[in-house]
Amino acid sequence: MKRTISILIENKPGALARAVGLFHQRGYNIESLNVAPLTDGTYSRMTVITKGTENVVEQITKQINKLIDVIKVSDLSEGEHHEIELIIFKFIKSKYNTRIQKILRKKKISVIERSDVVTVAIIDENSDFDSLVKSIGKNNIHEIVRSGGVGIHETEKNLNL
């Protein structure tokens, strides 16, 4: 089962490597990973999307919590949450046809056009990336970049210091 885990971690040298390394050491997989520092810059929030049974995810959160630099861990999948991703497609202008534009207009997008290429940034919730690419046609896309899912509780619940 897909799981979205949020981690608050000290913004110290080596801290990220410890958290990421732990997944490998303990045989857990990382589907996607997103990390950036928050307000005062002393700590970061990570979102790790992983797959595993209830037991495996319980172990993951406990093991991550054990890292000295980790401040808090929460398995967002236990409750209602948003999992939002930024996907950026770049198209050669000539291939950016009306069919593709129609597909993309159904999403929250921002478009940057140049004479040669069009870059489309999509903010996608619970995205089905594979079927999106399929519907556009893989060969029509010049370049792709994804942020990986970023998770947040849907309700008042928060994960703060």
Partner 1 sequence: MKYSGGELLLKALKDEGVKFIFGYPGGAALHIYDAIFRQKYVDHILVRHEQGATHAADGYSRATGKPGVVLVTSGPGATNAITGLATAFMDSIPLVVISGQVQSHLIGTDSFQETDMIGVSRPIVKHSYLVQSAEEIPSIVQEAFYIAQTGRPGPVVIDIPKDKTDPLHKYKYKKPAKPYLRSYQPKIKPHPGQIKKAAKAILSSERPVIYAGGGAIYSNAAKELSELNKILKVPVTNTLMGLGVYPAKNKLFLGMLGMHGTYQANMAMHNADLILAVGSRFDDRITNTPSLFAPNAKIIHIDVDPASISKIIKADIPIVGQVKDSLQALIKEIKRSKIKIDTDAIDIWNIQIDKWRKKHGLDHDLYQKKLKSKMIMPQVVVQELYNVTKGNAYVTSDVGQHQMFVAQYYHFNKPRRWINSGGLGTMGFGLPAALGVKLAFPKQEVVCVTGEGSIQMCIQELSTCLQYGLPIKVVNINNEALGMVRQWQDMNYGGRHSASTYQNSLPDFVKLTESYGHVGLKVTKPSNLRKTLEKSFAMKDKLVFIDVLVDPNEHVYPMLVAPNGSMKDMWLSKNKKT
Q: Which residues bind partner 1 (CB under 8 A)?
A: 9-10, 13-14, 17-18, 21, 25, 55, 58-59, 62-63, 65-66, 68-71, 161
Q: Which is nearer to partner 1, 10 or 88 (CB)?
A: 10
Give whichever of 11 and 101 is closer to partner 1, judged by the CB atom.
11
Of 17 and 139, nearer to partner 1 (C-beta) is 17
For 23, the enclosing helix (H) or strand (E) is helix 15-25
Q: Counting beta carbons within 10 angstroms of the beta carbon of residue 48, is it exposed (0 to 12), middle (13 to 18) or buried (19 or more)? A: buried
What's at 139, amino acid-wise?
N
Helix residue ranges, H only, 79-159: 98-105, 129-136
Tell me the closest approach of the beta carbon of residue 70 to partner 1, in angstroms.
6
For partner 1, the closer of residues 88 and 159 by Cβ is 159
In the block, residue with structure tokens 């303990």: 26
**Residue 7 near residue 49, CB atoms below 8 Å:** no
Output the smallest distance, CB 66 to partner 1, in A.
5
Tokens of 73: 């861990």
- Minimum distance of partner 1 from residue 64's CB (angstroms): 9
State the minimum distance, in angstroms, from the CB of residue 120 to partner 1: 38
Helix axes 129-136, 98-105, angle to 10 degrees: 160
